[in-house]
Structures are given as C-alpha cells and as structure tokens.
Amino acid sequence: MPGPLPTLTGPVHKPANRGAPKKLVALLHGLGADGNDLIGLAPAWEGLLPDAEFISPNAPFPCDMAPYGRQWFTFQSREPEAILAGVRAAVPILDAFLDAALAARGLTDSELAIVGFSQGAMMTLFTGLRRNKAAAALIGYSGAMVGPDVLAAEVRVRPPVLLVHGDADPVVPPERMIQAIAALEAAKVPVEHLSRPGLGHGIDEEGLRRGGRFLVEGFKRAGPPS
C-alpha cells in the first residue's frame, strides 16, 4: 500500500498589516530551487495586498539533476507522458498542503491565489484547474501547460489565469506560452498573457507589476470579505 503523502513546509511572509490573514498567496518555485527562492516575491506585492499571507513550500522531492534544491517531479525524461505522470503524482501532495494551509487560517479557496515559476508554474496550472473549488487567481511565470490535450476533459474550475513569459527564454521556449493559451481558451478558462521582450528565464519588474495587479483584481472578483 502507498505510504502517507509527504508534508510540505517552507518559508512564510506574514501580512504587512500585522493582522490575521484575509488572503493566502502560495508561491511555487522551480526545479532545483526551494521555497526561499520565491518568497522573495512577497515584498513586491505586500503593499498591494496588506492582508495577505505568502507561503512558499519546498517541493516534495530532492532535485535529481543537481546536488542541491528540490523538485516537484523529475525532468530526467522529457517525454510528455513521463512529465504528465510526474505532475499527477505531485498534485495530491500540493492539494493537501493547500487544503491544510487554508483550514489553518480559516480561509476558503476564493481567498487563495497560486503563483508559480517554471516547474512551479506547471504545477500551478495543472493543480489550480483541477481543485474542487476555484482559487481567486493563478499566475504562471516562464512555465508551460502539462497535458494540454487532456485539460478540456479534466478541468473542474476556471479561475482567471495570467501567463508571463520572456521571449528570449532559453529554458522553457516562449512557444509553450502560446500552447498554454490555446489549451486554456479551448477549455473556456479566462486567460491573460504578457510576453516580455528580451527577457530570459526569469521574472522582471513589469512582470511583477502585472502580476500584482492581477492578484488584486482576482481577489476583488472572488469577493472575499476585506
């Protein structure tokens, strides 16, 4: 029988207003990094979301392509079927973490946003569109849609999605954003996108600004109490 799911932990950035959190933003890092990498986004957004707590879990598995860092799933095989299987195995772990984090704070999915970079963006899109209830917003930076051909059949919720990608990304080709947009539109998921000229595999200031506005708008549309 399978063992218990790994329990995720990672750095937390408390609300800027020092009160109890009214919103929760989960930040999912990329391959070979850990939660300390993306928790650095919190100071850029806390002024816009002063009642939000930011959490950045360490991915469940040690990176098998480097002597440091974590991974959500292996990239040893780049075959689409292998990547899809890896994502499917990681989703229950992430779902359990998000459910527990919301319950611990007395929040609901409408008060949750999920933001991911690279491999974390792949997890954000796959998980966020298959949860039981919709989050306020999903943001994917420099990522891709895993299993685009199965999305329309598997989508359960349709939170607003923002995709941001550098047009000079040497790690995840910018064409992957175009593929993701097509899959999201086919599944009737509302999607906005931003291509950043000259940007490689990273997040720039304009991407941060657009992401911050998108989070504010998503939480406002979701209508949680302020």
Q: What are the boundaries of each domain within the chain?
A: 12-220
Residue 56 annotated as catalytic: no
Whether pLDDT at 11 is above 90: yes
Sheet bearing 23-28, strands edge to edge: 12-13, 52-55, 23-28, 112-117, 137-141, 161-166, 191-196
Whether pLDDT at 226 is above 70: no
Q: What is the pTM of this model?
A: 0.96
CA-nearest of 159, 158, 154, 176 to 167 is 176
CA-nearest of 81, 60, 76, 181 to 123 is 60
Given CATH 3.40.50.620, say whether it is the number of domain 12-220. no
Query: pLDDT confidence of 2, banded at 50, 70, 90?
Result: low
27-64 pLDDT per residue, tens: 999 999 999 999 999 999 999 999 999 999 999 999 99
Out of 56, 118, 142, 165, the active site residue is 118
Residue 201 annotated as catalytic: yes
Out of 34, 51, 109, 169, the active site residue is 169
Q: How far apart are CA 176 and CA 206, in angstroms?
A: 20
Whether pLDDT at 225 is above 60: no
Whether pLDDT at 90 is above 50: yes
Residue 64 annotated as catalytic: no
